[in-house]
Amino acid sequence: MAENGATKTLERDGGIVIEDDWPGYSLDLFTYPEHYCGDLESVYIPHGVIMDRTERLARNIMDDIGDHDIVVLCVLKGGYKFCADLVEFIKALSRNSNKSLLMRVDFIRLKSYLNDHSTEDLHILGGEDLSVLRGKNVLIVEAIVDTGKTMKALLTHVETFKPKMVRVAGLLVKRVPNGVGGLPDYVGFEIPNRFVVGYALDYNEYFRDLNHICVISEQGKMKYKV
């Protein structure tokens, strides 16, 4: 989080912690697209749990910055479902409370993965001119934060446009040994260092059509490897 000017101190919620030995739920307990049969190990976080946690994050955001107009900066492609659901929950809360949060939504695309590995080569698409952020309160919405290098680079880039305040909402934060950044201001789940797909998170553009967050199988990695 970065701020310019006086605002109240933010109490961070580290998110729901999923332990390293959590195997996930059996696929037989849920429905998922038949074309991914054999490509998944387990359902790691069911869609309903994602939605409930996202609603809680929306309430936290309203409590913290509900008196400010904000620009929501959605990080594509993986963040689009989380961002859409988060914005809808904020809108619902805004309609039914004495706080009214005026939002504008903009989009930026980051690419730093090849197969299941994060690379040093970060591409920022659509972020050449973010002058709309100047003097604004900005909420960056990202689906997953692992090493923190990508988010650190994005924050540095966003700060060049001199926003008034920047906060970050991350649905997933991975526990990785080589992390370089702090936690997002709003965290959905803290998860082990496993490669997960679904809820718009992909493996080489596949699996975005899964509602649940799942663990990809070795067969799935080989099948869609580039």
- Long-range pairs, 175-179, Cβ under 8 A, ≥24: 175/20, 176/146, 176/147, 178/147, 179/146, 179/147, 179/148
105-129 residue pLDDT tens? 999 887 665 555 555 556 777 656 7
Calculate mean pLDDT across residues 7-33: 82
Q: Which pLDDT belongs to residue 171?
A: 97
Calculate mean pLDDT across residues 136-148: 91
Q: Which pLDDT belongs to residue 47?
A: 98
Q: Which pLDDT belongs to residue 172?
A: 96
- Residue 10 per-residue DSSP state: P
167-197 residue pLDDT tens? 999 999 998 887 666 789 999 999 999 999 9
- For the beta carbon of residue 172, count every other beta carbon within 10 angstroms: 26
Buried residues in 82-112 as b, exposed as e (16+ CB within 10 A): bbebbbebbeebbeeeeeebeeeeebbebeb
Catalytic annotation, residues: 146
pTM: 0.87
37-55 residue pLDDT tens? 999 999 999 999 999 999 9
Residue carrying the six token digits 């409590």: 63
Peptide bond connecting 77 to the previous residue in cis, omega within 30 degrees of 0: yes
What letter represents residue 176's amino acid? V
Confidence band of 94 (pLDDT split at 50, 70, 90): confident
Rounding to the nearest 10 degrees, give the CA dihedral for residues 213, 217, 218, 220. Answer: -80
C-alpha 73/C-alpha 76 separation (Å) is 9
Structure tokens at 116: 């299941």
